[in-house]
Each structure stands twice: as C-alpha cells, then as structure tokens.
Structure 1
Amino acid sequence: MHQDRRRDRRPVRHVRPATVQHQAAATEGTEVVLVGYFSGKQKDFAALMDTAAQQATKHGVRVVGRIVQRRGVSDGGAKKMAFPYSSRTLLSYGKVREVAALCEQTDADAALFLSTLTERQRRVLTGMLGCPAVSLADVVAVG
C-alpha cells in the first residue's frame, strides 16, 4: 500500500559552517551602503546613522549611501515594533530592492548593516543584493 511521506523522515540538510568570507567583504578601502533598521519610537536614528558612518570611516570603509528602514511609524506597524519585517532579510521586501538598487547605482562593494545579522540573513541578503551583506560589528571586530 501507499505510505504517506512524513516530514520527519527526510534526510537532514547539513548546514555549512560559518565562514570568514563576510569579514573580508568590508576591509579598508571598501565602499559600502549603510543600512539601518530602527523602531518608530527611536527619534535619534539620524544621529545613530552618523555615528555608525564615523565608526566605519575610522576602520577605513567609505560610506557611499545610506538607507533607513523604520518600523512602527504607521498604526499597523506600531503593534509589531519590536519584530523585524522579515526573519529572512530583517527588512521589508521593498526596502531590500531599494538597497539593491542603491548598491548597484553607487557600485558599492558591500551593504553594511547596523544590526547584527545571522548567517541565514547574511546569505539571503547577499543573494538578493548582489553584493556581500555584512554587519557593522564584523567590521569593528576585524579592524
């Protein structure tokens, strides 16, 4: 007889170990687009972006563009303010397209996120943006 295929019997996908490739993506002389994700309650996001740009510049990275994603500005977003738009990309799909267009327009070498990225987010964003996605914490740790 036919037996149903059960999810728990599928072979386990092996996850590749974390690579150091993302750290090399934002070294000295690299041009990056700075991407910030902020809650709607955070009013000083421009100052935080300026501080992040100064930190990146101090480590030899040149900021060629900036993009801000704000959450909770509208009524619907206020209830979900503590959560990212997407666990895969951190940003909304439209904002990811906007970052990709800016990276292409400025010929940036990488997208530098203020938030810490998981390996999955880094991998997905790198594929969607067409350039490496790195976290500011990675750049500061290397420098």
Structure 2
Amino acid sequence: MRRDPTWPPVSILAGADVVLVGLFSAKDKGFGAKLDLLSALVKAHGGRVVGRHVQRRGVSHGGAARMTESFSRRTLISPGKAREIAQACRVAEVGVAVFVNPLAKHQRAVLEDMFGCLVISGEDLFTVEQ
C-alpha cells in the first residue's frame, strides 16, 4: 500500500511567525495558562510565537455587567487594541494571528484586513484540513 504524500497534512502554521490574541473576562485568572496552552499547540504545528496580546473585559468600559461580551461585533476586541495588534503584526511581519476566542467569518475578514496576515482561532488547529 502506498502512503499518501500529503499525510500528515502540513499545518498553515509551519514555519510562520505567530501572535496569540485573547479577550478575557477580568474575572478569568487563568488567562495566562490558556495562552500557554495555545502557544504549545502553535509550536506543535510548527509555528513560532513572537508575541501575545491580551484584552481584559470588565476592568473598565462597563464593568462587571459586560464582562462576557465582546467589545465589537466586527473585531471582537476594542478598536484601539485591534490597531495596536495590527501595528505589531506589521512591524514583526507576522504570518498568522491566532485567537484564543472563536471568531465569526466576518470578524476574521475584518481582522485579516487590519492585521495584514491570516487570522484564525485556536479551535481551527484541531481540524484535519490544517
């Protein structure tokens, strides 16, 4: 039996410089561990983590009542944080931004345009197509 030369599938992260991004509730004390797990997953797929960006929800701008909500339907994170990450991605010539949080298709498109790189969610790393 011949082996399929495309198996195992090559990850979109192989050889890429990657930034990790996460929106977390101010009550979430384990956000660092979640980023560490995502970092390990990225490394297992051949990516190199070159930065981490965290936005905390509930620290300001609405307090406890809005801690589980996103800042923006377009970008998930606040416009200022999105601009900050976009600048960092361009300066570091990042290939992929990986969000801890799930992203809608339209959020990915907006963020890819802003960041100038591919944008995925950590959950995408578990699919066979990658």
Please report the TM-score for the alignment, with normalisation by the length of structure 2: 0.84
Once the two structures are superposed, residues 114-142 of structure 1 have per-residue CA deviations (whole angstroms, 9 ceiling, x without a partner) of 11111110111111111121111112324
User: Are residues 25 and 91 of structure 1, via their aligned partners in 2, closer, same or farther at CA, if it must alter by over 3 Å?
Assistant: farther
Unaligned runs of 5+ in 1: 1-23
8 Å contact from structure 2 (residues 13, 42) kept in 1:
no
Letter in 2 for 1:138: D
Give the Cα–Cα distance (whole angstroms) in 1 for the partners of residues 88 and 38 of structure 2. Answer: 18
2:12 alignment counterpart: 26
2:48 alignment counterpart: 62
Give the Cα–Cα distance (whole angstroms) in 1 for the partners of residues 63 and 114 of structure 2. Answer: 24
Once the two structures are superposed, residues 76-119 of structure 1 have per-residue CA deviations (whole angstroms, 9 ceiling, x without a partner) of 23211111000110000000011101111211101111111111
Letter in 2 for 1:109: G
- Percent same amino acid among aligned pairs? 46
Give the Cα–Cα distance (whole angstroms) in 2 for the partners of residues 32 and 68 of structure 1. Answer: 14
Letter in 1 for 2:28: Q
Structure 1 segment 95-114 matched on structure 2, within 5 A: 95-114=81-100
Match of residue 74, structure 1, among 57, 60, 63: 60
Unaligned runs of 5+ in 2: 1-9
2:70 alignment counterpart: 84
Q: Which has the larger radius of gyration?
A: 1
**What is the aligned residue count?**
120
8 Å contact from structure 1 (residues 59, 140) kept in 2:
no
Please report the TM-score for the alignment, with normalisation by the length of structure 1: 0.77
Letter in 2 for 1:45: F
Match of residue 33, structure 2, among 35, 47, 51: 47
2:114 alignment counterpart: 128
8 Å contact from structure 2 (residues 43, 49) kept in 1:
yes
DSSP-derived class of the 2:49 partner? strand
